[in-house]
Structure 1
Amino acid sequence: MGDPEGWAAVTPEVLTLTCLLLAAQPRGRILRGQEAPSHSRPYMASVQVNGKHVCGGFLIAEQWVMSAAHCLEDVADGKVQVLLGAHSLSQPEPSKRLYDVLRVVPHPGSRTETIDHDLLLLQLSEKAVLGPAVQLLPWQREDRDVAAGTLCDVAGWGVVSHTGRKPDRLQHLLLPVLDRATCNLRTYHDGTITERMMCAESNRRDTCKGDSGGPLVCGSVAEGVVTSGSRICGNHKKPGIYTRLASYVSWIDGVMAEGAAA
């Protein structure tokens, strides 16, 4: 998420993760990922409710953060905020700033019972202050599939072990894209992956609670958003699913234009 993110130089060793297969995994986490270099992904956001991290997100415009719709579906009257400029969630950092959220805009087609249209736009109460540790992430506007085997970067503050231990500092890993036809095989997701979704391999390494809403970054561009659909993480037969941003250009542009005019 030149290469301001610095992830392209990461070695394949980051792929050596151990992801235990559990019968009932929670949503969206990176299991035993490698700590990202400090502030190497300055677009990353921590979406928080009542001061606690619930999901990832990323800055796509000075006043807008992208995340996943399911992240806030169980939130009633909680106070939603966005933390930018963070590497550690708890330690003081000069670049860290917590922003109030003016508008919460889930995609109108999102539903609790499916992962379709799992996108969420958050309008900050003011424009983010940009700097070395807070930057916009370009997102894909050309509607075409990423080639199978392409290594893409995911990052987040989701729990890092089957015991539920949560990291304080940002974690990341690289995952190869899996073609949609393979992902839709009966032994995998059995035809449920639409053209508005993409998959990445999940053999012992995976996004799986707390990472939902983060970006799948391929070649320094956000191609997808980590969905928050419940599934078994790290199971090679259940590849990770991501919502393709290029399929939602008109909706994203429309929401942001409406917000700017308000």
Structure 2
Amino acid sequence: MAPRPAARPDLALLLLLLAAAASGECGVPNAAQPRGRILGGREARPHLRPHMASLQLDGEHICGGFLIAEQWVLSAAHCTEETDGKLFQVLLGAHSLTEPEPHKRLYRVRAQIPHPGSNVYNNEDDLLLLQLEEKAELNEHVQVLPFQREQRDVAAGTVCEVAGWGTVTHSGRRPDRLQQVERPVLSRDECNHRTRHDHSITPNMMCTDSRKRDTCKGDSGGPLVCNGVAEAVVTAGSRVCGNYKKPGIYTRIAPYAAWIDRVMGALSGQEDTP
């Protein structure tokens, strides 16, 4: 596996300092995890989720993400595992990945910063910040989504929504247009039952029911939105999407708000140098 790329050579020292200051530690490695992957959902109404981003390599959708500030997109760190050192490009303002749309635009990425605690062996600290080369042009189809900063769990049974361009069938078919699905939140205790995720779900994670309707491959990095706020990021699920015994796993955002603010504050306004 190729190592994750540094954001930029001239920022290496700064990012090392940020990593040292970040909270949280890696989990104990066990085995490579199945990664976040909308099954059983439906096509979203066009442009009602103007925060959604498509992370792309060589023109191909790889993962989801969402705009949290004019120049910043939040996604999942594991999305960088198979990029061979390449930087993503970020598509904003899209409903269809291929059809012409009035505010759709592809942005280059200046810096790509995975949380320093993330790794290939487990789902710990699975967040990725992308700094765009320039501020996004905000309009009716491109908007920032607020994320949760309060340290509290979403009540079990709360129905939240997730959207993405990930796999929609077990045969692996990918959609061209944005899909959505609504899922109820499961309590951490229920998700940690030995027949489900067997105590691997930490306080920094949350789960939703995955019975026949689920996120699937290519949805990783998208937001789990509850009551209009991004509570978490799509992280992982079962190797078979829609498996009720393996609820979908999400990385909660609130525990990482200080890290997000630190990174954005340190890098925002930096001059681009050759």
Is TM-score (shorter-chain normalized) higher than 0.5? yes
Structure 2 unaligned regions, length at least 5: 1-32
Q: Tell me which of 87, 92, 105 is aligned to 1:97.
A: 105
Q: Tell me what 1:205 maps to.
A: 213
- Alignment map for 1:15-164 (pairs within 5 Å): 27-164=35-172
Relative contact order (C-alpha < 8 Å, sep 6+): which is higher?
1
- The structural deviation recorded for 1:187 is 1.1
Aligned-residue CA RMSD (Å): 1.4
Inter-partner Cα distance in structure 2 for 1:228 and 1:78: 22
Q: Percent identity?
A: 65
Q: Tell me what 2:180 maps to.
A: 172
> In the superposition, relative to structure 1, how do residues 165 and 26 fare at CA in structure 2: closer, same or farther (>3 Å)?
farther
Deviates more, 1:118-127 or 1:199-208: 199-208
Tell me if the contact between 1:70 and 1:228 (Cα under 8 Å) persists in the aligned partners: no
Inter-partner Cα distance in structure 2 for 1:27 and 1:185: 20
TM-score for both structures, normalised by structure 2: 0.84
Asked if 1:184 is matched to 2:206, the reply is no
- The structural deviation recorded for 1:232 is 3.1
SS, match of residue 268 in structure 2: helix
- Residue type matched to 1:92 in 2? P
Inter-partner Cα distance in structure 2 for 1:141 and 1:26: 28
Tell me if the contact between 2:238 and 2:246 (Cα under 8 Å) persists in the aligned partners: no
Q: Tell me what 1:22 maps to.
A: none
Deviates more, 1:196-205 or 1:221-230: 221-230
Inter-partner Cα distance in structure 1 for 2:87 and 2:131: 14
- The structural deviation recorded for 1:229 is 5.9
Q: Tell me what 2:26 maps to.
A: none
How many residue pairs match? The answer is 238
Tell me if the contact between 1:202 and 1:239 (Cα under 8 Å) persists in the aligned partners: yes
Structure 1 unaligned regions, length at least 5: 1-24
> In the superposition, relative to structure 1, how do residues 89 and 61 fare at CA in structure 2: closer, same or farther (>3 Å)?
same
SS, match of residue 58 in structure 1: strand
Inter-partner Cα distance in structure 1 for 2:127 and 2:84: 18
Deviates more, 1:235-244 or 1:225-234: 225-234
- The structural deviation recorded for 1:27 is 3.4
